[in-house]
Amino acid sequence: MAKDEKKKIQATDPLEAAKISAKPPPEPVIAPPPPPPTFDSQPDAPMEVAPASASKRYRVKTTTTISLGGNITKLNEGDIVSAGLYGPDRVKLIIASGVPLVEI
């Protein structure tokens, strides 16, 4: 009788009980990937052509130190100055500052 007097009590972990009684989470909705971008080519549109002055290149004759936009810039003898390297506005400033240049 001693065995019958002891009732079997099952201990339940609250976290485990919550897992059992909780509804499963809803399936995630996966959106379809966006369509790839399309490019509308316009062959009739005029092409932009760089001005002739942008293609000019100059070689520095003598080492010179100048100020370009507030920055001290040293141009050594033999350096190449072009719009591709310095930008068209800076090339105009270099020419205006009196740097001895030779067009190549």
Residue 75 lies in a domain: yes
pLDDT of residue 58: 92
* Assigned domain for 92 exists: yes
Residue 94: Cβ-neighbour burial (10 angstroms; 0-12, 13-18, 19+): buried
Q: Which residues pair with 82 in a beta bridge?
A: 57
- Whether 65 is covered by a domain: the verdict is yes
3-state DSSP assignment of residue 68: strand
Q: Which residue in 61, 26, 35 sits closest to 81, CA to CA?
A: 61
Residue 18 lies in a domain: no
Instruction: Count how many domains the chain has.
Output: 1
pLDDT, tens digit only, all 104 positions of the chain = 555 555 655 556 777 766 666 567 778 888 888 888 887 776 666 666 655 554 689 999 999 999 887 888 899 999 999 888 888 888 888 988 888 999 98
Burial 66-90 (b: 16+ CB within 10 A, else e): eeeeeeebebeeeeebbbeebeeee
pLDDT at 60: 93
Q: Which two tokens stand for residue 34?
A: 């966006």
Nearest Cα neighbor of 74 from 54, 92, 95, 94 is 94
- Domain presence at residue 3: no
DSSP state of 102: E
Range of the domain at 98: 55-103
Is 98 contained in some domain?
Answer: yes
Separation of alpha carbons 77 and 99, rounded Å: 11
* 70 occurs within a structural domain: yes
Asked if residue 20 belongs to a domain, the reply is no
